[in-house]
Each structure stands twice: as C-alpha cells, then as structure tokens.
Chain A
Amino acid sequence: MNLQSISKGRLFWPLVALFLMVMVNFWFNPDFFSIKVVNNGLYGSVIDILNRAAPVMLIAMGMTLVIATRGIDISVGATVAISGAIAAALIGGSLEIKDGVQTYVSNTPMSLAILAALGVGLLCGLWNGFLVAGVGMQPIIATLILMVAGRGIAQLITGGQIVTIYYEPFFFFGNGFFLGVPFAIYLVAAVAVVLLLLVHRTALGLFVQAVGLNPTASRFSGISARALIFWVYGFCGVTAAVAGVIIASNVKSADGNNAGLMMELDAILAVALGGTSLDGGRFSLIGTLIGALILQTLSYAIYSLGVPPEINLVVKAIVVFVVCLIQSEALRNMLFQRRTRVEGQA
C-alpha cells in the first residue's frame, strides 16, 4: 500500500460519517445548505462550520504527524493561548485621529507581531520535540509540562487579564472574507497544501510513516528519527500558533485562561476520526481534516437540534470511546475469534 492508496481506502468511513452528520443536520434544518450573500461575504451553515472548524483543522494537521510518529502533543491548547497572547500584546492597538482621519495604530507592526506569535509557537513545539527526541521522555509527559506551565506563561504575557485588541486590520484573520469566503479557510487550505506537498513531494511522509510503523528498522535504514521527531513537534507548535492567531483575531482579544481550552482533545479526536491509528504509523491528512469537520458538524447538529450544548462534551466522550474500540485490535480478535496468538508465535 502506498501513501495514496492508503488514504483512498482509509477515507471511506470518515466520509460516510461526515455525510451522515450532514444529513442529520439537513433533516432537522432544511436551510442547512442555503448560503446567503451579506456584505461581500457568504453566510450559511456550511460556511459557518468550515470557519469554526478552522483552528481545530490546523492543529489536527500538526497533531496528525506527531501521532504518526507514535507521539502525542497535549500542549497545543496552551500554545494557542501563548501565541494568541503574544499577538494581542504586541498589537494592542488603538484608534487615533491623525489630521482628522481615523487610523488604527498598533504597538508593533502587525506582520512582526504575527511572526513573533508563530515563532513562539515554533519554540513551544521544538521544546516538546527536544524533550521527546533529545531527552527521551514519554510524549504525554513531555507535553504535559508545557500544558501546565503554558497557561501560566500566557497569563504572564497578558498580565492575567483578557487583553482586548483594538486594531481593525488584525480582525481580518478571524472574521474577514476574501472572495466571499472566510479568510481562515484560506489559511487552513494554505497549510494543508504546504503539508500535502511536504508529505508527497518530499520524503517526509515516507519517513514519518516508517518511524511510526517500525522505529528500529527505520533507524537501521539510516533515517535520523530523532531529528525528524524534533521538527514534527516544532511544526505542530506552528499550527497551534496559527490557530491561536485566528482565535485571537476572531474574538478580538486574548484570554490566557480559556483560549484553546480542551482544544488538544478535539485535535486528537479529529485525528482518530480521520482514520489515523493512535498507535502511530499510517496517517491521512485529508482524513484528519474530515475528522475535524465531523466534530464541528456534530456540534452544529447538537446545537440545531435544540439539545442543550452542554451535552456536546458527553457526545464527544462517547465518540472517543467508540472510535477507540473500533480501532482496538483486541476487540476485533474477540469478535472474529481470529487465532492471532497462535500465528504470532509461529
């Protein structure tokens, strides 16, 4: 099985699940597919779902690579908070009147602020990568450290307050429309394209899969697994930072406490729903994007069904258990009575 045929075969069930979720939505909300044009922008349920899923889609793409190398990154939520805080603190912004014209003034140039936010995200990721690949900690523990400390760091940056941003151009990332489509969707598409190119046009995809499937054989074949893992975590940090900027832009503020809260769980869930094994190895980026959409569509359905949104978490939890059980080899063996034990020992 090569990369493409894997993704073809593996995408089937995620697509079915997404289709079912969409149909459920359509059943209860006949307007689900309608799209209206308001102020140069397209509005409608589908657009809304895409737009809201953008941050999770971004993070889940980084997470996919991490999980494919047999790792996990539970610090992405904290990284979202940190990068959002950096962007907000650097931009700040105010509305000033110069020569009778209203202009928005930022504390630092916006491009610089955003670069700084992404850079800090990269650093966060590389820190995790260093702990996992360099020090040799278990991924869950290594990233737990940043998960604990990261929120503190984010609050340190925001001074424990919710920092409100007063700088109109920055809001474009989370609220703006380009050619009628929310700008965040373009960001997701851009990252997805870059990543797909990296995976299919460089040896990255092959190496990540090989390291996840058989670390020993990969090392013996000369793959520098350590360097690979280090950068994969770094990349995951960057995707979290992009998500952090979008979220900060969307809510026009940075909240060290609540930005990106529980987002690591959504991202992991999206990866699992997309058909990537949580034990590492084979992965599918497109599947992950579909997984994130399934989650968002599910939330949307719960919302439009009139069920209190609080139940969302319970449903997600049940989805976690179901997906894990579907992936569980032990369960499959029990159900089909396959005598893998005997085969395994032969």
Chain B
Amino acid sequence: MNFARFLNPRSLPLVITTSLFALLYGFGAVSYDAFLSPQVFVNLLIDNGFLVVVAVGMTFVIISGGIDLSVGSIVALTTMVSATLAQQHHWNFWQILPLVLAIGCLFGLFMGVLIQVFKLQAFIVTLGGMFLARGLCYVISIDSISITEPSFTVLAEYRIPLGEETFVSTSGVVAIALLAVGVYLAHYTRFGRTVYAIGGNERSAMLMGLPVAKTKIMVYVLSGFCSALGGVLVTLYMQSGYGLHALGMELDAIAAAVIGGTLLTGGVGYVVGTLVGVMILGVIQTLIVFDGSLSSWWTRIAIGGLLFVFCLLQRLLDRSGKKIRTKN
C-alpha cells in the first residue's frame, strides 16, 4: 500500500521533481566545487524568495482550477508604488507595507468577483488585470526609481547568519514563513481543503454544501496578496521600483507550480512542491551562470522545455489513471 502511494500518479510528479532537483544539484556539485558551499544553496532561496512567495499564491489559484496571469504586473506595481512613496513622499517601509498589501488584495478581489460573479474566463480577466497593473506602473513613472529610504536599505541589507560563512536575507526568511503559512492553509484549514475540492469537481463541491463562490474569490485575493508581498521582496532585492520589473514572472510562477507537481486541471498540488519547482528554476539559472559559456536565454528555453515535459507527463498520467478507473 505504501509503495502504491509512492507511485500514486498524483504524487509521482513531485517525486520526479525532487529527484530532478537532487540530480541537477548533484551535477552542479560534481562540475563546480563552489556548488558545495552552503551559501550557494541558500542563495537559491535568497535570489528566488520573491518567486516562492508569488508561486505559492499561484499554486492555490491553479489548484482551484483557475489561472492568474496578473501576478507579474502586480509585483511591478508594488515596486513602483513603494518606490514612489518612499522617495517622493518619504514614507517608511512599515507605512508602505500595509498599503501595498491592501492594493494587492483589492486587485485580487476585483478579478475574483469578475470571474466568479460574472462568470468570465479567468485567463481573460487576469490578462486584463495584467494590462491594468502594468499600465498603472507607467502612469506613475516610466523610469526606474531607486530607493534610498533608510528603512528599506536596512531591511534589504539585513543578513541573518546561519552558521559560519552562511547567511540568509530578509526575503529568504519571509519566503519560508509564507511557505509555512501556505502549507498550513492548504492542508490544515477548511479554506484550503475547499480549494482542493473545487479543483477536483466544482459541482460536487457545491452539492456537498461547501462555500464555493466565497472560496473562489478568496483564492484570487490570496494570489493578489502573495503578488504584493512578492513585490515588496522584489523592491528590497532590487532596491528600486520599475514598471519593467518582474516581466514574465507569471510564467515562472506557473512553471514552478507545475514542475512542483500541481495539476493544471486543478485539484491536485503541493505547496511544498512549488518550493522545489522554484529551486529547480533557480538551480538551472545558477548552473547557466556558473557555466559562463551558456547565455541567459537558455534559461527561458529550459523552463519552456520543463513546462512541456511536465504538462505531457500530467496528460499521460491522467490518461493512464482514467484507463485504470474504467478497468476497475
């Protein structure tokens, strides 16, 4: 029975993903001595903390059977709003944080209501949201705004030592904390389980008396919140606000979730898997940097290729699953 669970078609992608990560990291360690330094590992988290945060929100959306293409531009909008308020209005970090998080939630609420109440297709609504948020960035300013506000720089440069030559940044800590909250929400709350139920079969969820409409809207609010929080981390990481920040991040977030074992048809996924997905994207990037001869666009091709392989895998598993079911 335990073996069956291990090879359960639904968790198989996660098993493959984790093995793939180990393999890639192992390959790096064999090829480059520096890979063995714990800091390189921690840097994966530091350099991709914002993506972890955004991808966790995306994971919930995809599990519910939806999609959110607006996350990248909400990240950009957050950096822009933060930078403007900090530089031109001299707000400090702690005044800005609640405001931008609220903006993110409102964005999600707006899109969630359009999707749920007016029965519009999620991808087209969030596509509109993508336009809107990017557009608002450019309305604020078309230039990059550097942040010199001390409350930002202090946080951005703050390092927490982990042992001797290893340290982690604020964004790494926030990412792990949010991941923990995500796991809690997904597996130990009524909200999370309802999200899974909706993704599994929305009609059944309704007939079982679950609060489908409310939950679906909340999922987009959550995604908006995560995007805004991710945006805050990007602001700290870049120490600037720019309308072109996080271009295409929605794709990275979707890829991370899918590679992490979240089924695009909804209903199945692991928040922890998304972390592994992000780490794989990070390792690929690191490998390409270490190699030096490979150009950065190989990252995009590799991500696309991985996305393809995992989508194909999902389809095949889905088909074989159906076959087993009819045989039964």
Residues of A within 8 A of B (CB): 72, 131, 135-138, 140-142, 144-153, 155-156, 159-160, 256, 265, 268, 272, 278-279, 308, 310-318, 320-321, 324-325, 328-331
Contact = CB atoms under 8 A, between A and B. Distances in A.
B117 A330 contact: yes
B128 A317 contact: yes
Contact of B304 (A140, A148, A278, A311): A148
Nearest to B136: A314
A200 B143 CA distance: 49
Contact of A145 (B67, B265, B311): B311
A25 to B, nearest CB: 21
A149 B138 contact: no
Contacts of B315: 135-137
A174 B267 CA distance: 48
Contacts of A268: 124, 127
B303 A328 contact: no
A149 B311 contact: no
Interface residues on B, range: 35 or more
B251 A147 contact: yes
B142 interface: yes
Given A308-B142, A311-B138, 16 more contacts: A72-B123, A138-B265, A140-B123, A146-B304, A148-B300, A156-B298, A160-B295, A268-B124, A268-B127, A312-B135, A314-B131, A314-B132, A321-B125, A324-B120, A324-B124, A330-B118
A71 B299 CA distance: 28
Contacts, number: 129
Nearest to B303: A148
Contact of B301 (A131, A153, A316): A153
**Considering residues B134, B248, B264, B300, which has the most beta carbons from chain A within 10 angstroms of its beta carbon?**
B300
Contacts of B138: 308, 310-311, 313
Contacts of B295: 155-156, 159-160
Q: What's the dominant secondary structure at chain A's contact region?
A: helix
Contact of B118 (A131, A153, A315, A328): A328
B308 interface: yes
A329 B129 CA distance: 21
Contacts of A331: 118
Given A138-B265, A153-B301, A330-B117, A145 B135 contact: no
B208 interface: no
B96 interface: no
Contacts of A140: 67, 123
8 tightest A-B contacts by CB? A149-B304, A152-B300, A313-B135, A310-B138, A314-B135, A317-B131, A317-B132, A320-B128
A265 B135 CA distance: 13
8 contacts: A144-B251, A151-B297, A151-B300, A152-B301, A153-B297, A156-B297, A310-B135, A311-B135
B238 to A, nearest CB: 19
A3 B304 CA distance: 39
Contacts of A144: 251, 254, 307
B305 interface: yes
Contacts of A137: 264, 311, 315
B96 to A, nearest CB: 22
Given A311-B138, A313-B134, A152 B124 contact: no
B206 interface: no
Interface string B245-289: 000100100110000000011000000000000000000000000
B118 A325 contact: yes
Interface in B45-70: 67
B120 A328 contact: yes
Given A141-B264, A147-B251, A150-B304, A320 B127 contact: yes
B114 interface: yes
A152 B297 contact: yes
A312 B135 CA distance: 7
B144 to A, nearest CB: 14
Most buried by A among B117, B124, B136, B251: B124
Nearest to A151: B300
Contacts of B303: 148-149, 152
A152 B304 contact: yes
Contacts of B296: 160
A131 B67 CA distance: 19
A318 B301 CA distance: 33
A321 B134 CA distance: 15
A145 B307 contact: yes
Nearest to B308: A145
A160 B123 CA distance: 30
B119 interface: yes
